[in-house]
């Protein structure tokens, strides 16, 4: 039951929060450098092709962040 130690749980939570924050910041940066508003295009205009590209980009960023934290 080594995984129930408080320091292990705290470390896992800390790294998870760091990963989410890094992902969110990188997504906001990419949203700012694109010539249009990603959220407006995906949610309001239902642009499925752009949603697929953003989903792939998000997975790529998440894999990079996970590898860097690990």
Instruction: Indicate the pLDDT class of residue 12, thresholds 50, 70 and 90.
Output: confident
pLDDT at 3 over 70: no
Alpha carbons 18 and 52: distance in angstroms, whole number: 25
Phi/psi zone of residue 46: left (φ > 0), alpha (ψ -120 to 50 degrees), beta? left
pTM: 0.72
């Amino acid at each position: 039951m080594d995984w129930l130690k408080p320091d292990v749980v705290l470390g896992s939570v800390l790294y998870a929060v760091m990963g989410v924050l890094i992902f969110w910041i990188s997504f906001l940066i990419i949203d700012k450098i694109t010539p249009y508003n990603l959220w407006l295009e995906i949610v309001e205009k239902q642009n499925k092709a752009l949603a697929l590209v953003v989903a792939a980009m998000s997975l790529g960023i998440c894999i990079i962040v996970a590898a860097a934290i690990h």
